[in-house]
Amino acid sequence: MSAVRIVVASMVVAAAFTAVALAQDNGRIYGRITTVDDDVFEGPIRWDKNEGSWVDVLDGNKDLPKSNYRKSDRKKYRDREGSFEIFGITIGKSYSSWNFPGSAQSGIRFGHIKTLEVIDDDAVRLVLKSGQEVELEGGSTDIGEDIREIIIEDADEGEIELVWDDIELVEFMTPARAVTSTYGERLYGTLTTRRGDEFTGFICWDIDELFGDDILDGSHKGRKRKIHFDKIARIERYSSNGATVYMKNGDELLLRESNDVDDGNRGIIVSDVGFGQVRVNWDEFDQLEFKDIPRPAVYDDFDGGRPLYGTVETEDGETYTGLIRWDNDEDHTWEILDGNYRDIQFDIEFGLIKSIEKKSYRSSQVTVLDGRTFRLRGSNDVDEDNKGIFITTDTEEDIEVEWEDFAKVEFSRK
């Protein structure tokens, strides 16, 4: 067979596999849960109420290895004046074992995870698709006894609600056949802020409602209303204590007296496949127009991550290319960079970032792979509280660049 025919055949096979995956995988988190009593259930999973798709983020804290603050063998880009050493401890801007944080806030999209094993009351061990093992604990209601609910829709047993102490192991996977959910389709649409910024993606309303069968509560003309989200075409902020709801049948309702539609709303999350997610509070929210999902983000779209790699440039024009540890804690593409933009909280997956450029001591411009840029601040990932950018160069030299020396990083594949 000729090389051309082999390439064409390979493309046809790949397209066929993709078509099968899309037909079976509707983007819902799907897996097999084994309980501490050895019961096994399999089906779509709703995690902590507000995670139900592969694009959603499992939040927690991860321990930082002691090697992250052992710097005796590491070369700083520049030795700083004003720091000095007493009894082997560096006093000044540099971190040391007595003030270096032992853990850091972390998060990972469910699509990167192969298995999740409960190892403590508030801790899990994750095995990623790449084979990397990661332990996360606490830090949110996603992990531990404060989790609000874990629901699995088993084909034989029906809908089953589990508590944290029930869970032994969760194995994530592409379903073997097409599945449907009693919750309906995942919410999707375009959110517009009061400043005119637009974000399109999968919607989580009030950090609670994800699906078409979920309920929007409120009162209209003194009557309590419970409206299924799949009946709604658009929601507009009316004021701090109300919202106008435009129904698909043409009706228009002004709803009040519920944290679904006033400033008690805990936030609207938009999960954008192209960069991560944003969380918009009620004061910044203007309107949300619901749309059909153009294509679900399926399990096969996620690779489990790889080490961060790229070129770091200093303000003096020096460049270092190699493996990167950002803010002295993020070193894989599945990890999350966070920051704020116009009071909107951003969580951007490192694997989707093209570059980060320091704009001031307090802010950075983050450019994602599709060309969008965001000026972020309010986080040690993007401001002067950054704990350092560490590079192991291709020549195996260890370099530390502090924030005041940092200019820009361009990420790439090794």
Cα separation, 121 vs 79, in Å, equals 44
Residues 53 and 152 in one domain: yes
Does residue 301 lie in a domain region? Answer: no
Q: 0.85 exceeded by the pTM?
A: yes
> What's the number of domains the chain is made of?
3
Q: Does 222 map to a domain? A: yes
Same-domain pairing of 218 and 288: yes
73 domain residue, yes or no? no
Q: What is d(CA 80, CA 93) in angstroms, rounded to the nearest whole number? A: 8
* Domain limit, last residue, from 295, 328, 356: 295
Walk along the chain (414 residues) and give the pLDDT tens digit of each residue: 444 443 334 443 334 344 444 457 899 999 999 999 999 999 999 999 999 999 999 999 998 877 776 554 456 667 655 444 454 444 555 444 445 567 788 999 999 999 999 999 999 999 999 999 999 998 889 999 999 999 999 999 999 999 999 999 999 999 998 888 999 999 999 999 999 999 999 999 999 999 999 999 999 999 999 999 999 999 999 999 999 999 999 999 999 999 999 999 999 999 999 999 999 999 999 999 999 999 999 999 999 999 999 999 999 999 999 999 999 999 999 999 999 998 899 999 999 999 999 999 999 999 999 999 999 999 999 999 999 999 999 999 999 999 999 999 999 988
Range of the domain at 114: 24-64+104-172
Q: What confidence score (pLDDT) does residue 5 get?
A: 46
Are 369 and 400 found together in one domain? yes
Domain stop point among 257, 272, 295: 295
